[in-house]
A and B are shown apart, each in its own frame.
Chain A
Amino acid sequence: MRVLPLYVVLGGWLSMPALAADAGAWMDRLATAEQKQSYAGTFVYERNGSFSSHAVWQRVEGGRVQERLLQLDGPPAEVVRVDGQVQCATDELAAQFREAQAWHGQRLDPKALSEWYEFRVIGDSRVAGRSAVALAVTARDQHRYGFELHLDRDTGLPLKSLMLNEKGQLLERFQFTRFTADPVDEQLLKPSAVCKDIAVVARDATPDSAWHSDWLPPGFELLDANERPSPASPETVAWLSYGDGLAKFSVFLEPLRGALVEDARSQMGPTVAVSKRISTADGDVMVTVVGEIPLGTAERVALSMRYGAEQAQE
């Protein structure tokens, strides 16, 4: 273990490519560790206007991954998952669940990600009393945010993640305050009484929608799509979800039926929400883009949504 820090230091001296390769190796470790390693701990989450603490237990046995998350302050939000599928959740978190993608579907794929993000080892750090390596995950274009990731040297798991905007300002902090990689007792994975069983909505193998986007930031693909009743009217809202493997955003489209509504935008820490009115042959539609992407990117996506075979009408 003593050799690693030295390697990092030497790597910094000798060449940048070596450093990048080292970062890639760490990302590979992270990708496999999340499915193999049992661990338990508590972490804090902070974004503009919100601070909360949570406990997490993950137990891996015979290839089966059980995971329990519990908010420790405020309402006891709780989720239990087995192999990525939600088993139970508290009311607040559980309005409706879509079936999770196949277990091997959307894993962290460092190789694919490296096309949109640059990984670099930036130094040693210490988180939750454990020795960690700090990686800079820098966006290669202006359409996504960068991260600073601190990975546990023993397990490769993320002990700390900072999301940064293009100016280097902190948008959110995820940080363990206590972490153990010891085997986890099965009792600790048992959901509490407030955790209610979830009916999972099945999903199509290939997402499909009458809507599509004329423009997407490079690397983003359609992950899911469906239609739901509007939370505030009898209309049906089309919903599309996109991701680049790390960042995600959702697009909601609700017919206005002549209603006078202005455009709007707001930001909650890393999450931006942009609403834009667009015209279709069927009348005006309000497009709302919600996600962890820069404001400008969200606006451009909103203005690029088209219904059916309609083309850009500039």
Chain B
Amino acid sequence: MSREALHESLSAVMDNEADELELRRMLAGDNPELRATWSRYQLARAAMHKELIEPRLDIAAAVSAALADEAAPAQPRRSGWKGLGRLAVAASVTVAVLAGVRLYNQNEVAGPQLAQQAAQPSISVPQASQGSTVLAGYSEGQAEVPAQTAADSAPIERWHEERLPSYVRQHAQQAAFGSGSESALPYARAASMEER
């Protein structure tokens, strides 16, 4: 793709006119100049929307990394790619951007901006319920939870499924109540383990 064409695609992405495939193609290539441009565009758009953006964050790189990770599982299943694959890509792009926002939020600014940016994840939540790939992407890549689904190895996985909830609960209880007084944090952790 020529430089002109690339930058044209970039504008299209910024105007939400491009699809994920286009974004994927653009950011997958190792083109620092293009990424820099994308970051600048992002910044400009943020300024227009009166959003606060941390200029140091290379969100383009994060998105690019998310796309690279996504490529592997998407390849072998040509058939499912159109549906789930697209959602997965879209979700992890959102996550990469969100991760940047979160990082920035740790510097703690005023409430309104926070609320405004926090509104983003709700867009991806419906998608998250559609498949395990999407969920794994949504959890910022930490949940490299066993890729084996229940269908793959049911009897073997059952062993863990029957025990893990009880183990986790016992650990959380000990942490929360086993050591005299502490802050309410371990209690909240224990309570959160009870949710289904």
- Chain B contact residue count (CB 8 A cutoff): 50
In the complex, whether A285 has a CB less than 8 A from a CB of chain B is no
Is A196 close to B, CB under 8 A? no
B111 closest partner in A (C-beta): A126
| B184 and A43 within 8 A (CB) | yes
Known: A45-B191, A92-B194, A125-B108. A262 touches B179 (CB 8 A): no
Residues 216 to 245 of chain A near chain B (Cβ within 8 Å): 223-224, 228, 230-232, 239, 241, 243
Could you tell me the distance between the alpha carbons of A126 and B111 in the complex, rounded to whole angstroms?
10
* Contact (Cβ within 8 A) B160 A264: yes
Query: Cβ of A243 and Cβ of B163 under 8 Å apart?
Result: no
Query: Do the beta carbons of A75 and B184 come within 8 Å of each other?
Result: no
The reply to whether A100 and B163 form a contact with Cβ atoms under 8 Å apart is: no
- Segment among A10-18, A111-119, A165-173, A187-195 that sits at the interface with chain B: A165-173
Q: B67 contacts the other chain (Cβ, under 8 Å)?
A: no
Interface size class of A (residues with CB under 8 A): 35 or more
Majority SS of interface residues in chain A? strand
Interface residues of B in 94-118 (CB under 8 A from A): 99, 102-103, 106, 108
Known: A103-B180, A275-B160. A250 touches B174 (CB 8 A): yes
Q: Are B106 and A95 in contact (CB under 8 A)?
A: no
Whether a CB of chain B sits under 8 angstroms from the CB of A248 is yes
B171 interface neighbour in A148, A170, A291, Cβ under 8 Å: A291
Residues of A within 8 Å of B164, CB to CB, are 264, 266, 273, 275, 288
Tell yes or no: A158 within 8 A of B by CB: yes
Contact string, B58-75, partner A, CB cutoff 8 A, digits 1/0? 000000000000000000
Known contacts A52-B195, A54-B188, A264-B160; decide if A101 and B106 are in contact (CB<8 Å). no
- A54 to B195: give the CA distance in the assembly, Å: 14
B37 contacts partner chain A, Cβ-Cβ < 8 Å: no
Task: Determine whether the beta carbon of A67 is less than 8 Å from that of B181.
Answer: yes
Q: Are B195's CB and A93's CB within 8 A?
A: no
**A232 to B173 Cα, complex, angstroms:** 19
The 5 closest A-B pairs by CB, nearest first: A232-B162, A231-B166, A45-B188, A84-B180, A250-B171
Binding site for B on A (CB under 8 A): 34-35, 43, 45, 47-50, 52, 54, 56, 65, 67, 69, 71, 74-75, 77, 79, 81, 83-84, 86, 92-93, 95-98, 100-108, 125-126, 134, 148, 158, 161-162, 164-165, 168-172, 174, 223-224, 228, 230-232, 239, 241, 243, 248-250, 252, 254, 259-262, 264-271, 273, 275, 286, 288, 290-292
